[in-house]
Each structure stands twice: as C-alpha cells, then as structure tokens.
A and B are shown apart, each in its own frame.
Chain A
Amino acid sequence: MSGAIAAAMAAHRRRERRRLGMLGAVALALALSLVLDLASGPALLPPVEVLRSLLGDPAADETVSIILWSLRLPMALMALTVGVALGVSGATVQTLLDNPLASPYTLGLAAAAGFGAALALQQGGWGLPPVLAVPGAAFLFTSLACAVVLGVGRLRGMAANTVVLAGIALLFLFHSLQSLMQFRATPEVGQQIVFWLLGSLDRATWQNLGITAAVTAVSLPLLMRHCWALTALRLGEARARALGLPVAALRLGAVLLVSLMTATAIAFVGTIGFIGLVAPHLARLCIGEDQRFLLPMSGLMGALMLSSASVLSKVILPGALVPVGVVTAVLGVPFFFWLILARRLPG
C-alpha cells in the first residue's frame, strides 16, 4: 500500500474521530443543560443537591428529591426526548425532500396536530379527560395528515416536490380549520387553544415521557439503518437512483418514521417551532453530511436547543414561565438569519 493511500485513510479516520469527539462535546453540554434545567424553576435548587438526588444519594435533601422526581425530571427529560425527535426528524426530512428549509412541520404535521388539539378542546374532549383527549386528537390528526401526504406522494412515486406540495396544502387546510375552531370557541377555550399551540413542557408526565421516548428509541435505529443511502441522497436524487438505491421506498419508510416521532412528540408538548429546522443545520456545520454522525448530532443539537430553551423560559422573566415554544422561536429566528447570512445553508 502506498504511503499516500495510508495517509488518506488515516486522515479519514481522524475526521471520524473528530466527529465522535464533537458528539461527545455536545452530549456533555447537554448533560450540563439538563442539570441547569432541573435546578431552575420557581424554587431554585442547588445543582449539587440535584446531582446528589439524581445519583440516589440517601443523604440528598428530601424536598429537592420530591420536586425533582415528581415535577422537573419528566419535563427536563421530555425536553431532551422531543428535542432528539424533532432534530433527527428535521435532518431526515431535509435530506429526503432535498430542501434546506424543510422541517417535520413542512409535511403539515404541526398544523394537523394543532387542529386536532383545538377540536378536542372546543368539543370539551368528547367526555374524555382533557389529558387524554387533547394529545389523542392531536396524534390522530397528525397521523391522518401523514397518511394523506404519503398517499398523495405514492401516486407520484414519492417525488420530493409532490410530498412538499401535499404537506403545504395540508398545512393551509389545517391552519384554516384551526382558526375556525378558535373563532367559534368561547374566550376561555380560545385561550386554552392558544396556550396549547405555543408548546409547553408542562404537560410532561412519566407516562407520556415513556411513550415519546419509546417511539423515538425505536424509530432512531430504524432510520440509522439507512444512513449511507441518506448520505447518497445528498448528492441528488438522480445519483442516488443511479447507485441503485430504492429512493421511493426509502422516502416512504423514512417519512412514516419521522411522522410517527413528530406526531408523538407534538401530541404531548404542542407545536415547538424551529428545533426541527435549525438543529440539523447546526449539526451539519459541525459534522458534515455523513449521516452516521449527522443524525445523532441533529438529535443531540435538538435536545440541547430545547433543554437550553427550557432553562431560559424559566429565568428570562423572573417569576413567570414563558412557553418554551415562544423561546425556541424567538431565539431560532435570529439564529436562522445568521445561518442564512453566513451562507452556510446548502442551496
């Protein structure tokens, strides 16, 4: 083997190690953000006490442990799980649809969830407790939107443009229907609808966290199985097809998984914007297009963004809790402008 070939191989391995290192660094930042998220809130908990309680130290403060285990931990872990789901989904959708501005919400999923939730609130939950009816209806309508997008897409061989256009059509439809629900609702119900739409981690419980985490944990490895095919798609659909990759089947399967992850996440926390759009771009800046690293990095970036937003939502206005969806949008927009102006977005 020539020295030049050995050097090229060594350089590639170094690149892989650097990418792993970056994943580790973001995971570390995420751990720090998690502790801060657990420590912050109406009652500020000492981070050392938080760590002691987390590690099961019998000498840990009992009040801290109660606040932590029954209130804050489900919320903080939900931020991580939803962040991972939205980050990974965003990266996958941007690749599948060959569109840097795409996010899971481009498929009309958030609008469908919003309408489902609004309908459940407006109808008083059809006799079911709101804690079941609202996420249930949100999930149901998100699944319906997904089925329509996939159905229309399949008629055209899952062409990227058809999927995007079907998603945008649904987005407008469900937005209009959601506005109708708000228009017809009483002021109290209207307020509840607005609050749901803003997105909040307050609704996290151990049960819905378990469901979201399970769906994400099953979907992620299934997506990772296609990491090389997804990387090849970054060279354009024509080349991916030339490489004999089943692009239509890949798009169908991946959109299904993304929809499932997104539907589950937003059913429980509402529509949290910008994570699915911005996190993949941040990940791409650090890692490149090798999806073996990009998908996990997008997930970690999404989790870091949502966890940090959760911390900020509690400290930004003393004594008040700003909905986390507002924080992600307010921080996400200028950040996105920076990405655009820095010409870092792939065209």
Chain B
Amino acid sequence: MLRAESLTLRQGSQVISRSLSLDFARGGITALVGPNGAGKTTLLRALQGGHRPSGGRITLDGLALTDAGRRRWQARIGYMPQESRASDGVTVLEAVLLGRAGTLAFHLPDAELRAAATLLQEFGLLELAGRSLATLSGGQRQLVFFAQCLAREPEVMLLDEPVSALDLRHQQTLMRALRRLTDARQLISVVVLHDLNLAARYADRIAVLAEGRLRAIGPPREALSAPLLSEIYGVTVRVLRDADNMPLVQSLV
C-alpha cells in the first residue's frame, strides 16, 4: 500500500496542496484527473521522492520515505515524467536499458539485453531497436519510455500523462499493458490522465484534484459526476453511460 498522509506540497513559496491524504492499493490503477495546475504532477513527484513535501508523510508498505532512504525508495518506483527528450546518439534499445542505469555494470550481460529487447517486442518496437531515439515520433518515444519504466521492474508505476502524444491505437496498447502488468505483478499504478473516458475505462479508481485539493475519489461511476466536473473545469459537462454502464464524459461548448 502506498499512502500519502496529510501532505503539504509547495513550489517555492506557493502552496500547491495542503493536507492531502490518499492511498493506493496493490493491483489497482488510480487515475489522477483534474484541470491544469491542480497539483497532479507535484503529487506524483512527491510520491516518487523527487519533491520533498513540506508537511505530512508518504509510506510504502508502512515504510516511510526519508532523505536517507530516498535511493532505495526510488529503486522500487517506475516514474515516467511528461518530458520526453530524445538524444541523437542513444538508440532505442539503449534507452530501455537506461531504465536500469543505477544498477548496470560496465559490461552488459546478455540477460539485460534480452529483457530490454523483450519489452520492445511487447510494444511492437523491436524493429526500431537500433534506431536513434531522436528519429522516432513523439508517440513511439513515449512507448519507449514506458518500456524504460518497466525495465526497472518496479513495484509502483507513476505515469504522468503517458498517452498525451499517442494515437488511439497506441493509447489502448499502453493502457492495456498497464492493466495487464498491474494485475499480473500486483503493481501500485498511479497515472495522470486528461482523457476522462480513458481513465474511466482503465482505472479502478479516479481521484479528482482541483487547486491542490482532493475533490472526489472512488470508482469511475462515482467519482466522475457532471456537477463536479463542470465546476472544476469551468465548462458544461454531461456524463452519459456506455454499453457497459461506464461513464462517458462529454463537454458541451
């Protein structure tokens, strides 16, 4: 169980979140949704150990995140930030290998190479293995970075807008893979999404954040309510039901 208790998060002197409490269970996907500036990325960075909260605490299976234990904490986490910069001289296979940069020895054993290549195959990217990362499309690069996260064999997956540059098919590929791995490996998965329908389809729970406050949390059917979404996004929102009785969010301009 990953737990945030009474977190206060600041950026400089600005308070992003105050007294934020949330927990994330193993084998579950939680989608963080909310308007821009709601504090989703800062929360994710705090959970990863890259942003020090100014109040409250974060625990994983009862063990608190501390300065001294930060490296060990981060070794258990696969974090995919929004930034997806490419470098000319790094190949796709090397980019996936770099997921384990903290533990790789000078000589690269076959097992490491095989694991990285297998991940690429899983996402249909194996034929690009020797290509420079810079020659890939934004969407392909995002999939490579997702594979890089998985190469870390994490217990917790923290993904910040992982499908923002992906076409519809690749969005489904990535989210299905996340669902499958979360179930199979009992991962704790937290994913920031702007596509509320994608969140409703793949997440077990949705946490709605606005102005640093948790406005709703629960199964998609409960968390995605039209009045709340209309209020926080500032547009008129209608929530319909699809054939599986899942919420289908439409904004009415």
Interface residues of A (CB under 8 A from B): 1-2, 4-5, 8-9, 11-13, 15-16, 224, 227-229, 231-232, 234-236, 238-246, 284, 287-290, 292, 294, 346
Residues of A within 8 A of B225 (CB): none
13 A-B pairs, CB-CB below 8 angstroms?
Answer: A5-B121, A16-B108, A228-B98, A234-B89, A235-B87, A239-B84, A240-B101, A241-B50, A243-B99, A244-B75, A289-B90, A289-B94, A346-B88
User: From residue A246, how far is it (CB to closest CB) to chain B in Å?
Assistant: 7
Residues of B within 8 A of A244 (CB): 49, 71, 74-75, 77, 102
Alpha-carbon separation in the docked complex, A262 to B121 (Å)? 45
Alpha-carbon separation in the docked complex, A150 to B87 (Å)? 27
The stretch of B19-27, B110-118, B166-174 that contacts the partner chain: B110-118
A288 near B89 (CB under 8 angstroms)?
Answer: yes
A15 near B130 (CB under 8 angstroms)?
Answer: yes
Residue B86 at the chain A interface, CB threshold 8 Å: yes
Among candidates A9, A231, A346, residue contacting B113 with C-beta atoms closer than 8 Å = A9
Residue B120 at the chain A interface, CB threshold 8 Å: yes
Nearest-neighbor residue (CB-CB) of A347 within chain B: B88
Alpha-carbon separation in the docked complex, A13 to B130 (Å)? 11
Residues of B within 8 A of A239 (CB): 81, 83-85, 145
A245 near B117 (CB under 8 angstroms)?
Answer: no
1/0 contact string of B59-89 vs chain A (CB within 8 Å):
0000000000001001101011101111111
Interface residues on B, range: 35 or more
Q: A5-B117, A231-B98, A235-B86 are in contact. Are A242 and B129 (CB under 8 A)?
A: no
Residues of A within 8 A of B74 (CB): 244
Residues of A within 8 A of B71 (CB): 244, 246
Among candidates B98, B127, B129, residue contacting A232 with C-beta atoms closer than 8 Å = B98
Among candidates A2, A12, A236, residue contacting B129 with C-beta atoms closer than 8 Å = A12
A interface secondary structure, majority: helix
A243 near B130 (CB under 8 angstroms)?
Answer: no
Nearest-neighbor residue (CB-CB) of B118 within chain A: A5
Alpha-carbon separation in the docked complex, A308 to B23 (Å)? 63
Alpha-carbon separation in the docked complex, A224 to B106 (Å)? 8
Residue B1 at the chain A interface, CB threshold 8 Å: no
Residues of A within 8 A of B114 (CB): 1, 5, 9
Q: A5-B126, A8-B129, A12-B130 are in contact. Are A243 and B91 (CB under 8 A)?
A: no
B90 near A8 (CB under 8 angstroms)?
Answer: no
B110 near A9 (CB under 8 angstroms)?
Answer: yes
Residue B104 at the chain A interface, CB threshold 8 Å: yes
Residues of B within 8 A of A294 (CB): 89
Nearest-neighbor residue (CB-CB) of B93 within chain A: A12
Q: B residues 201-236 with Cβ under 8 Å of A?
A: none
Residues of B within 8 A of A235 (CB): 85-87, 90, 95, 98, 133
Residues of B within 8 A of A232 (CB): 98, 101
1/0 contact string of B6-23 vs chain A (CB within 8 Å):
000000000000000000
